[in-house]
Amino acid sequence: MHLPSVLSLLGAAALAAAQAGNVTTGKLGDAREVRNNPVIGETWVATFDSAAVKGTVTAVAQPVGINYTIAVTGLAVEKGPYKYHVHLRAVPESGNCTDTGGHLDSYVRGDSPPCESSLPQTCEVGDLSGKYGTVAGPDVKKAFNDPYTAMNIIQLGYIGNRSIVFHDASSARIACATLKKVEVAAAP
């Protein structure tokens, strides 16, 4: 079979699944694209600095959604693959990742069944690995645009002062860091 016909069959299958209602989406519907970030280029960074896991997840406001760059080291290969999400709350002083709460899930989908990555608008907004793929260790470099997370505080999907959490294959929260705004010095 030619590649184009395979692709069109896959497309038709995804459409059929969506039409048949087999794809789980949010109780509030599919996530909408974010097109009202106040400052394009506004940057928030989650900095990981535990004994094992070090590095950053950088989020930069775009005309549509947010661009993420993951640059972390020290994810033990044998415990992967790793999931990563935007969680609701900042990491407390104690560093306890449990206290970051659940996933950012503005459209109320829940994480079960796992989301369909070909239909990212149906995923929990904060389920970045569900949408863009899990990562293996030990060192990760990965970049993607997510149209559904926001830097506009009035918008569903706002990520400010929330956190990024990595989970190992057992779902244990092995590293977490608060997203902090990078303040740009005022122009002279």
Residue with the two structure tokens 């950053």? 56
Q: Does 17 bind ligand NAG (CB under 6 A)?
A: yes
Q: Which helix (H) or strand (E) holds 178?
A: strand 173-181
Instruction: Give φ, ψ of 38 to 5 degrees.
Output: -65, -40
Q: How far is the CB of 149 from ligand NAG (least distance, A)?
A: 13
With CB cut-offs between 5 and 8 Å by kind, which of Cu ion, ligand NAG, none does residue 17 bind? ligand NAG
Which string of x and - marks every residue 37-76 that binds ligand NAG (by CB under 6 A)? -------------------------x----x---------
> What would the two tokens of residue 54 be?
């070090």
> What would the two tokens of residue 28 be?
């509030």
C-alpha dist (Å) from residue 175 to 17, 78, 100, 104, 133: 35, 16, 11, 17, 18
Count of residues binding ligand NAG (CB under 6 A)?
16
Of 7, 10, 15, 16, the residue at the interface with ligand NAG (CB under 6 A) is 16
| In contact, 88 and 162? CB cutoff 8 Å | yes
Could you list the residues that contact Cu ion (CB under 5 A)? 85, 165
Q: Does 145 bind ligand NAG (CB under 6 A)?
A: yes
Residue with the two structure tokens 């369909």? 116
Distance spanning both ends of the chain, measured CA to CA: 62
Q: What's the CA gap between 4 and 1, in Å, rounded?
A: 8
Of 6, 143, 182, 184, the residue at the interface with ligand NAG (CB under 6 A) is 143
Our CB check for ligand NAG shows the closer of 77 and 98 to be 98
Of 64, 144, 152, 173, the residue at the interface with ligand NAG (CB under 6 A) is 144
With CB cut-offs between 5 and 8 Å by kind, which of Cu ion, ligand NAG, none does residue 36 bind? none
Q: What are the residues whose beta carbons fall under 8 Å from the beta carbon of 188, sequence distance 6 or more? A: none
List residues binding ligand NAG (CB under 6 A): 13, 16-17, 20, 22, 62, 67, 96, 98-99, 143-145, 153, 160-161
